Amino acid sequence: MHIFFHIPKAAGTNFSRKLVQATGATDPLTVVRPIDLAFLPDSVLNKKDFVGGHFGWAVLERIAGESKTYTILRDPVARIVSQYKYMVKLTREGGLRKGAMIRFVKRENRCVATKEGLTDILRDEEVPYIEGAFRNSATWTFVSDSNSISRWEADDNTLLSIAKNNLARVDFVGIVEEMDATFDLLSYQLGTQITNDSRDNTTDDIDFEVDDELIALIEENNQLDLELYRWGKKLFQDRCKEMLGKKKIALTPNDFTGSCWRNGVRADGASNAFYFLAPSVSELCIAPGDLVEFAATGSARVMRVDSSEQNGLVSVFVTVDQSIDPVGDGFPNKVLVESKAERRP
């Protein structure tokens, strides 16, 4: 089962849709409110192949089989501002139908989208919804649940330690501020290309002043999330570096045939070279010592790379340590290159 911990206003709607498609899930479950999951029998839950939404770490206790877990973190200040804008947008559009929620947003004119409106929310210590949505939401997601009744009695250091440990166990951690790299990492882990080409539930049309005073108040209310975000960002960057050391880049031999070449592969002598075109020398993505994988021949080690520029393109001739099959490994088949991490940006 694939499980996506969707922290509110952290690009989760788009990510969840892409994740469902990439994993091939046929019976996904989207959880809008934690209570929806609470009343779902375990027997029904465990028949799903994808569960994503607003719930906490405790859901894993209900999963019977193996699971893969995913989440995306967002800078807490940006997330809180976006959360407020989204509540304002829903109120304006009539999207809030629950009486208690409407009263919460409209109280003290909070639905006008102003610095004062968000300030009033962050200083309100009486409404439980504020605890769940505007104070350390990410941390509580990875402790138990954002709506946990014990959050007022918890020790901050203990909470943060639990959240960090659990976040480190999540199979995939993405970062909103680095979405292109996030989708690159996800593509690598799932073995399929996933593009970052859309956004959902945007609030770009709603704007108000976010000054240093408001930022300080947001940070004051989200100290745990700020630390967890820094921790999560390091996890993400470390995993990206690891990916760059293992990532297989696809190269396709040129279709050149003639003289001693066939389908872009040397066809005489040792037959241990292939030829392709690159946009520039800086984008060769291959060097001596790299491991390459051919469709027919299998794995080989790069012994030599020779390049020359002509007519705006770079011709690259790669020599490997064994013979290559011009038919099975030549154009249009792809050669997978496992590049060295230290050469990658």
Sequential pLDDT tens for the chain (345 residues): 999 999 999 988 999 999 999 999 999 999 987 778 888 999 999 999 999 999 999 999 999 989 999 999 999 999 999 998 888 877 776 655 555 555 555 555 556 778 888 888 888 877 777 777 899 999 999 997 655 555 556 688 889 999 999 999 999 999 999 898 898 889 888 877 787 776 666 666 788 889 999 999 999 999 999 999 999 999 999 888 787 666 677 888 999 898 899 999 999 888 999 999 887 766 677 888 888 888 888 888 889 999 888 777 888 999 999 999 999 999 988 888 876 544 443
Nearest to 294 by CA among 254, 258, 322: 322
Specify whether 218 is located in the same domain as 311.
no
Task: Give pLDDT, residue 287.
Answer: 83
User: Does a structural domain hold residue 261?
Assistant: yes
Domain ends where: 191, 213, 246?
246
User: Does a structural domain hold residue 255?
Assistant: yes
Q: Are 129 and 146 in contact (CB under 8 A)?
A: no
Specify whether 111 is located in the same domain as 193.
yes
Domain ends where: 215, 246, 277?
246
User: Does a structural domain hold residue 15?
Assistant: no
CA dihedral defined by 146, 152, 156, 158, rounded to 10 degrees? Answer: -80
User: Does a structural domain hold residue 24?
Assistant: no
Nearest to 116 by CA among 209, 206, 51: 209
User: Does a structural domain hold residue 204?
Assistant: yes
Nearest to 332 by CA among 257, 279, 282: 257
Instruction: Read off the tokens for 286.
Output: 């291959």
Specify whether 80 is located in the same domain as 222.
yes
Specify whether 242 is located in the same domain as 252.
no
User: Does a structural domain hold residue 16?
Assistant: no
Specify whether 242 is located in the same domain as 294.
no
Task: Give pLDDT, residue 103.
Answer: 56
Nearest to 78 by CA among 158, 173, 177: 177
Specify whether 303 is located in the same domain as 181.
no
Task: Give pLDDT, residue 285.
Answer: 77
Specify whether 89 is located in the same domain as 220.
yes
Task: Give pLDDT, residue 104.
Answer: 58
Task: Give pLDDT, residue 345.
Answer: 38
Specify whether 194 is located in the same domain as 144.
yes
Specify whether 225 is located in the same domain as 258.
no
Segments forming the whole domain that contains residue 295:
248-343
Q: Are 76 and 138 in contact (CB under 8 A)?
A: yes
Domain ends where: 212, 246, 280?
246
Specify whether 240 is located in the same domain as 297.
no
* Host H or E run for residue 337: strand 335-338
Task: Give pLDDT, residue 243.
Answer: 75
Specify whether 95 is located in the same domain as 144.
yes
- Give the count of domains, the chain: 2
CA dihedral defined by 13, 16, 22, 24, rounded to 10 degrees? Answer: -120
User: Does a structural domain hold residue 40?
Assistant: no
Nearest to 198 by CA among 9, 15, 1: 15
Query: Residue 230 sits in a domain of what CATH number?
Result: 3.40.50.300
Specify whether 278 is located in the same domain as 217.
no
User: Does a structural domain hold residue 115?
Assistant: yes
